[in-house]
Amino acid sequence: DTGVSQDPRHKITKRGQNVTFRCDPISEHNRLYWYRQTLGQGPEFLTYFQNEAQLEKSRLLSDRFSAERPKGSFSTLEIQRTEQGDSAMYLCASSTIGGSSYNEQFFGPGTRLTVL
């Protein structure tokens, strides 16, 4: 399977615990995006990387959230001191970059987080 993969698919945690999610993009893709989708809403942009550099962070990404993409390959999204409002589906997408054509984002299956 050469698509975007995310791990775990589901995570249940207690309020106040830390959680970490992983995203493995399509191998030749330079850009990696994180989105959050709450119940009944469309996905909302959180942050994106170009290779290993984190180039933009949304205001939704509070200081409890941190994302990394070491070596420009897989990425991790960590949430510290989880709150019930963090319960959502966390989606990862990747794309190529360059040229004059649109670079389609390919989405992974998501990690569903439930904070009790």
Q: Which residues bind other proteins (CB under 8 A)?
A: 4, 31, 33, 35, 40-45, 48, 50, 55-56, 91, 93, 95, 100-105, 107-110, 112
Least Å distance, CB 16 to other proteins, is 27
CB of 100 to other proteins, least distance (A): 7
Nearer to other proteins, 34 or 115 (CB): 34
Among candidates 103, 99, 111, which has minimal Cα distance to 46?
111
Nearer to other proteins, 80 or 112 (CB): 112
Closest CA to 21 of 8, 4, 38: 8
The one-letter amino acid code at 5 reads S
Beta bridge partners of 21: 77
Report the nearest approach of other proteins to the CB of residue 20 (Å): 19
If the CB atoms of residues 4 and 79 are measured against other proteins, the closer one turns out to be: 4
Q: Shortest Cβ distance from residue 79 to other proteins (Å)? A: 20
Q: Rounded to an integer, what is the distance from CA 75 to the centroid of its chain?
A: 8
Torsion, Cα 24 37 62 25, to 10 degrees, reads: 10
